[in-house]
Amino acid sequence: MRRYLFAGAAMLGLLALAPPIAAQRRPGYTTGAHNISLPADWQARFIRYATVDKADRKIIRHLFVNPEAFAAATPGAPLPHGTLIIMADARARVDATGTPLRDQQGRFIAEPGWIAIAAQEKQPGWGEGYPPEMRNGEWEYAAFTGTGERRNIALGSCFNCHITARSGQDFAFNFWDYVQAR
Ligand code: HEC
C-alpha cells in the first residue's frame, strides 16, 4: 500500500513538473530564422498598430501584428504564443535637397513598396537551444527583402539588441508599449 502511495505521488510529481509548453512545441524544432514565414495574406490580414518616422534613416516603419495576438495581448502579461510582429520599412519621399517631405500632420510620406521587412515570432518552446546570453525567451527573428524574399544574414545583432533593451518587455518594443498603453 505504501509503495502504491509512493508511486502515485511520484507520478503526480512528474505530471506537475512536466512543462505544458513542451507538449505543444512543434515537433522537430531547431533554432533559426527558417521557423518564421511571412503569411501570404499578411498585408491584408495583419493589423498595423504603429507607424514610426525614422528621420536618421529617412524611412517610415510600419508595424503590423497578427489579429489573434492583437486581440489576446494583455497589459502586464507576456505577449501571447503565436504573436507574429512584422516590421516593414518604406522609403520616405524627399525633396530636391534630400529632406523628407511631410504631410499636413507633419508625418513623412511613404514611397510605394517596402525596402526591408523584419519579423519576430513567439511560439511555445521556441528559443530552446540558444545560449542563455542570446536566448530571447521563446522568440525567433527573421529578415526579408522588401518583396518578401528571405535574407540569409546573421541575426545575432537582433537577439543582442532586443535582449539588452527589452528583456523585461518580452523582447518587443513598440508592440509591448502599444499593449500597455491601450
Ligand atoms: C540596435 C538595436 C536593434 C537591432 C540590432 C535590431 N532591432 Fe528590432 N527593434 C529595435 C527597436 C528600437 C525597435 C522599435 C522600432 C523602432 O523604433 O525602430 C525594434 C522593433 C522590431 C520589431 C517590431 C517589434 C516591436 O515590438 O516594435 C521587429 C519585428 C524587429 N525589431 C525585428 C528585428 C530583427 C529581425 C532584427 C535583426 C535583423 C532586429 N530587429 C535588430 C532595435 C533593434
Per-residue cell: 112: 510605394
User: Which pLDDT value is given to residue 122?
Assistant: 98
User: Which pLDDT value is given to residue 28?
Assistant: 87
Cβ–Cβ under 8 Å, residues 21 and 128: no
Mean per-residue pLDDT pooled into runs of 10, the chain (182 residues): 46 45 68 98 98 97 98 98 98 97 97 98 97 97 98 97 98 98 92
- Cα pseudo-dihedral 23, 27, 28, 29, rounded to 10: -60
Q: Is 31 exposed, middle or buried (0-12, 13-18, 19+ CB in 10 A)?
A: middle
| Residues 19, 110: Cα–Cα separation, whole Å | 46
Ligand 1 centroid–CA 119 distance in Å is 9
Ligand 1 centroid–CA 2 distance in Å is 57
Q: What is the pTM of this model?
A: 0.88
Domains and CATH numbers, the chain: 30-181 (3.50.70.20)
| Residues 61, 173: Cα–Cα separation, whole Å | 13
Ligand 1 centroid–CA 158 distance in Å is 7
- Cα pseudo-dihedral 146, 127, 64, 20, rounded to 10: 150
Using a 6 Å CB cutoff, which residues line ligand 1?
52, 61, 63, 85, 87, 118-120, 141-143, 155, 157-158, 161-162, 172-176
| Cα-based angle 179, 116, 37 (whole degrees, multiple of 5) | 70
Ligand 1 centroid–CA 9 distance in Å is 47
Residue with the smallest CA separation from ligand 1 atom 14 is 173
User: Which pLDDT value is given to residue 169?
Assistant: 98
